[in-house]
Structure 1
């Protein structure tokens, strides 16, 4: 359910958008795939490398040299990492692979789990967050902002640092998650660009789930800011396509 919620925030529905790719002009280069892998942060490179190990002759392999060049740039070189001029043809190749090769879709699903779901479980566990809703909140935060410091202002380590002093002063997991979402939403709303403030609605929906006490994420789940209600479904059927 956590993956379906975040997919709704990212794509407007709970379907896995393996073929999605777009330059959002958010200083991350191309954003693509089931959880928004990006050329600017280097996780898209990892997806293509994993795919190429299993399918050497694929339509994305020719882009590896440029993807590696971008990933090798300093984290401070935001302009350099967001440059897509050397990636002409990547969007068409990505969509072709996603539409025609089940292996590529499977690689995306596996990498999403390794890069985002597992770190979410680890970070949540470190602060005593165990509920499905809590894990979903951590997962969505990491998908949007990263579990490392790629995003210098808004990222999981910084949020944990800012909420650390509240861990023992709030009423259990619910209280802590409330503080985490409050700080995250304020950071998004106050960020000086046109990207993060517009995405604050996803945090409002998570706050509504928390206020409703739906810690087990029992469907149906209404995400009011996105006008979507998630009904019961087999998550594995959606996200693993071998």
Structure 2
């Protein structure tokens, strides 16, 4: 299932020195606080942001047309006009604000685009969205309720469903949950052959926090990134292979708890959280 179908169903760079590995054997990952801990959730989201935005900062105010078939991409999770979730954010913002907002005039064109895509239309259409990018940037920078709406939609669509999956298979460490969350964000959490549940099933019987199971899961994800079920995602997904490299390197460092300070390398660039 592609991202649009899933959503319709709805559901700073730093030059850190290498951190020393802990002494816990790789065969027995320590039981560590997961992403229910706000501090560890923050670290996980910073890592995912480096994958998607090349910065540890969440790009709440960003909005641009990438020419990737999804129309306008905006905000902390790359919500797009062609995949339904940008419309959800704009509507949630109206609810939070209790009425009209600087983005209200875009609800009607976003709804038209959403309906057209659901009927097989062009997800790259931005008809009626002139000026949206500037309005989004200004509003994000001046009204915290838009950023709050982004957080709420992100949690509804991605974070909570991924954590539900993690609990169901006994994955409790921050790193294990990060791997599932990042997979859910990119692949989706629906019933498609490349989605998170399918990858979990293909990996084999869940083994809780066993690092060997997590490595197998990432190997399965790598195969799906190299040869996705949907041809239209092939080029973009192959470019995402360094995401798996980074997660595997954190296993090698035994950074299961995502405790700070933490550093990692993504696609040749070093990042860190103090």
TM-score by length of 1: 0.83
2:208 and 2:155 map into 1 onto residues whose CA distance is 30
Structure whose CA Rg is larger: 2
Please give the alpha-carbon distance, in whole angstroms, between the structure 2 residues aligned to 1:146 and 1:26.
18
Partner secondary structure for residue 122 of structure 2 = helix
Could you say if the C-alpha distance between residues 223 and 148 of structure 1 is closer, same or farther in structure 2, counting changes exceeding 3 Å? same
> Cα–Cα, structure 1 residues 137 and 172, in superposed 2: closer, same or farther, change >3 Å?
closer
- What is residue 127 of structure 2 aligned with on the other side? 85
Post-superposition CA distance 1:173-223 (Å, at most 9, x none): 312221221121222233454321112111110111122221101223332
Contact 2:172 2:208 (8 Å CA) reproduced: no
Query: Structure 2 length normalisation: TM-score?
Result: 0.74
What are the within-5 Å matches in structure 2 for residues 43-82 of structure 1? 43-55=85-97, 56-73=99-116, 75=118, 77=120, 79-82=121-124
1 CA distance for matches of 2:137 and 2:216? 39
Q: Does 2:199 align with 1:199?
A: no
The aligned residue for residue 116 of structure 1 is 158
Q: Which structure has more helix as a fraction of its residues?
A: 1
Q: Does 1:177 align with 2:214?
A: yes
Query: Which of 162, 182, 186 is the aligned partner of 1:144?
Result: 186
Unmatched 5+ stretches in structure 1:
233-242
In 2, distance between residues paired with 1:70 and 1:159?
A: 31
- Report matched runs for 1:1-242 at 5 Å: 1-55=43-97, 56-73=99-116, 75=118, 77=120, 79-148=121-190, 154-163=194-203, 166-167=204-205, 173-191=210-228, 192=231, 193-226=234-267, 227-232=269-274
Aligned residues: 226
Instruction: State the Cα distance separating 1:75 from its structure 2 match.
Output: 4.9
